[in-house]
Amino acid sequence: MSDCIFCKIAAHEIPAHIIWESDRFVAFADIRPVNPGHLLIIPKDHVEVVFAMDDERYAEAFAAAKTLSAPLRRATDAKRIGIAVEGFGVDHAHIHLIPLHGPHELNPDRAQAADPKDLAEMVEKITSEINKN
Ligand SMILES: [Zn+2]
């Protein structure tokens, strides 16, 4: 979709901290993280909601979440990696992958604009952990 911000990110048409990419998915850092290291996984093709993906893509999306969870955990020293799907912000399917250090942190009210320098440093940390795999 031409006016969809996530389509533009997936197509590299607007800048984003893309930390991982496959043929059909992209993962990038949320600029308003619930916790540092908060990632979004999106399909490259425009699909409005997660449950509208066909079974194969749906499985691929959650396999990507699993693949990214270990390096993300190492990069952030998180106790757990939380997964959340709401989809109210942008009408393009996205899975939140959020490092958690304790209970009750998986809460969108905690989202705050990240300092650009902190965000860039976190992205570098995560990318370096991914490359160790
Ligand atoms: Zn889109």
Give the type of residue at 25. F
Percent of the chain scored above 70 by pLDDT?
98
The three-state secondary structure class of 43 is: strand
Q: Which of 94, 96, 101, 104 is catalytic?
A: 94
Structure tokens at 77: 């020293």
CA of 92 to the centre of ligand 1 (A): 5
Residue-range definition of the domain harbouring residue 125: 5-132
CATH number of the domain enclosing 52: 3.30.428.10
Q: Is 46 a catalytic residue?
A: no
CA atoms within 13 A on the CB side of 74: 14
Give dist(CA 45, CA 40) in Å, integer.
Answer: 15
The 10s digit of each residue's pLDDT in 12-50 is 999 999 999 999 999 999 999 999 999 999 999 999 999
- Number of domains making up the chain: 1
CA of 120 to the centre of ligand 1 (A): 24
